[in-house]
């Protein structure tokens, strides 16, 4: 058993004033019923770094059904990895029972389903719903900076794995052997790079070497998980730094070889810079950053360099996205976006074309793309004004009166 390091209130910056009041309420209700309950994971990390957490997750000794009995608006989600979601209006506080690694099955995918199509010797090891202690829960996590707990009863940070030291050193370090951890779940390599880029941290040398050694393992991860991570990277506000680090570690060549091939070319980095600037102007990822807009930020540099004049068909999308396993629906939305873009920069379109563009389902995404990447600010302002004014009226056509048919002359018999 490992004795944790206890960081008292005087030695860390976390204040309850910065914690979501509904998360505090959940913690208090659990403790009131004699359950251990801590704020856990990325929320603690972000509070220690002076950032505003996106989520406030809770770890507890209470089992999912016990949590459900305490909170009226609570739903149990997940089949293999069961979690309690406590709802407050549109907000969800995630409550997870402390878990431990199962020696026979290992540690594995941080709650994500393994890739069942992978070969048995490469399939990510499962984790069962085997409940454990706070210490066991800390050691099953991916990186030390994500394994810190905050106790509202003592105002202390609880550290079993040296996470506070790594936060001060601004270091991304695996819990356990990084070679084993990345083979267990290759997506952890992407997460390591993403944390380093977004937080401005360094990769621990053993972590960097393990990524270079096992970058090819990413091919054995579930395609849906890879695309989910790709969208997160593009929405992070640090896409340029992340993709540069993905490239330096060899991961980008495995994830998106067509994009990696553009490393020496300025348009790729200009596109990602503009995407980051747009996202960071909003403080967080706005709803306008749809998957099609994100993919367009990767695809258009490829199209501009490889295809002249740029086509706007399915082949264009396939060439631009290369080996990325993009969902069919997202690829189709991207194709429609590419078709729409030239129409927005057309000077003085006729009223019929304006009505058609405003009614097109891809128009909002194309307008967002133009705001992010467009080199024609006049076109953006023109379409914004047109959107406010609404579609131009149809020209009134004067109806012609139907011509009266002349009755044929009748002849009379004489």
pLDDT for res 1: 76
Q: Are 57 and 40 in contact (CB under 8 A)?
A: yes
Please write the tens of the pLDDT for every residue from 188-219.
999 999 999 999 999 999 999 999 999 999 99
96: three-class secondary structure by DSSP: strand
57 is catalytic: yes
Please write the tens of the pLDDT for every residue from 156-170.
999 999 999 999 999
112 is catalytic: no
Strand ranges inside 123-226, DSSP E: 148-151, 156-159, 171-172, 202-203
| Residue 190, token pair as written in the block | 């992407």
DSSP 357-393: HHH-TTHHHHHHHHHHH-S-HHHHHHHHHHHHH-SPP
Predicted TM-score (pTM) of this structure: 0.83
CATH of domain 1-98+133-169: 3.30.460.10
- The catalytic position among 20, 22, 55, 306 is 55
* Residues in the chain, total: 414
Please write the tens of the pLDDT for every residue from 131-141.
999 999 999 99
Integer CA distances (angstroms), 214 to 181, 207, 219, 322, in order:
11, 10, 10, 21
d(CA 23, CA 34): 17
- The catalytic position among 46, 137, 142, 185 is 142
Under the banding of pLDDT at 50, 70 and 90, the label for residue 311 is: low
What mean pLDDT value characterizes the chain?
Answer: 87
pLDDT for res 285: 85
142 is catalytic: yes
Please write the tens of the pLDDT for every residue from 1-52.
788 999 999 999 999 999 999 999 999 999 999 999 999 999 999 999 999 9
Residue 397 pLDDT exceeds 70: no
- The catalytic position among 46, 57, 166, 276 is 57
pLDDT for res 214: 97
Could you state, in order of their start, the residue ranges of all structural domains in the chain? 1-98+133-169, 260-387
């Amino acid at each position: 058993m490992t004795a944790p390091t206890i960081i008292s209130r005087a030695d860390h910056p976390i204040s309850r004033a910065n914690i979501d009041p509904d998360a505090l309420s959940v913690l208090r209700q659990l403790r009131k019923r004699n359950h251990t309950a801590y704020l856990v994971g990325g929320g603690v990390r972000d509070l220690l770094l002076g950032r505003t957490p996106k989520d406030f997750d809770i770890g507890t000794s209470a089992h999912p059904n016990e949590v459900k009995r305490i909170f009226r608006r609570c739903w149990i989600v997940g089949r293999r990895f069961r979690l309690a979601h406590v709802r407050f209006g549109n907000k969800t506080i995630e409550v997870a029972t402390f878990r431990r690694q199962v020696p026979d099955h290992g540690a594995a995918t941080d709650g994500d389903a393994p890739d069942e199509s992978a070969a048995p010797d490469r399939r990510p090891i499962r984790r069962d719903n085997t409940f454990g202690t706070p210490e066991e829960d800390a050691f099953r996590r991916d990186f030390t900076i994500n394994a810190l707990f905050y106790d509202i009863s003592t105002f202390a940070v609880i550290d079993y794995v040296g996470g506070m030291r790594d936060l001060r050193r601004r270091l991304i370090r695996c819990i356990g052997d990084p070679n084993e951890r990345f083979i267990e779940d290759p997506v952890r390599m992407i997460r390591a790079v993403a944390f380093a880029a977004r937080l401005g941290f360094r990769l621990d040398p053993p972590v960097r070497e393990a990524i270079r050694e096992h970058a090819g393992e990413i091919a054995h991860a579930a395609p849906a998980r890879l695309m989910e991570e790709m969208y997160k990277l593009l929405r992070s506000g640090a896409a340029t730094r992340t993709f540069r680090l993905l490239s330096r570690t060899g991961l980008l060549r495995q994830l998106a070889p067509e994009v990696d091939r553009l490393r020496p070319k300025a348009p790729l980095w200009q596109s990602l810079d503009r995407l980051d600037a747009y996202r960071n102007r909003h403080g967080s990822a706005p709803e306008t950053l749809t998957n099609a807009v994100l993919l367009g930020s990767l695809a258009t540099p490829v199209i501009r360099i490889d295809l002249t004049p740029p086509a706007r068909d399915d082949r264009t999308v396939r060439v631009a996205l290369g080996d990325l396993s993009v969902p069919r629906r997202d690829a189709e939305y991207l194709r429609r976006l590419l078709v729409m873009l030239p129409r927005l920069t057309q000077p003085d379109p006729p009223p019929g074309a304006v009505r058609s563009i405003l009614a097109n389902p891809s128009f909002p995404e194309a307008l967002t793309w133009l705001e992010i990447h467009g080199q024609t600010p006049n076109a953006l302002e023109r379409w914004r004004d047109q959107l406010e004014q609404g579609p131009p009226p149809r020209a009134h056509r004067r109806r012609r009166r139907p011509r009266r048919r002349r009755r044929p002359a009748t002849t009379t018999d004489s």
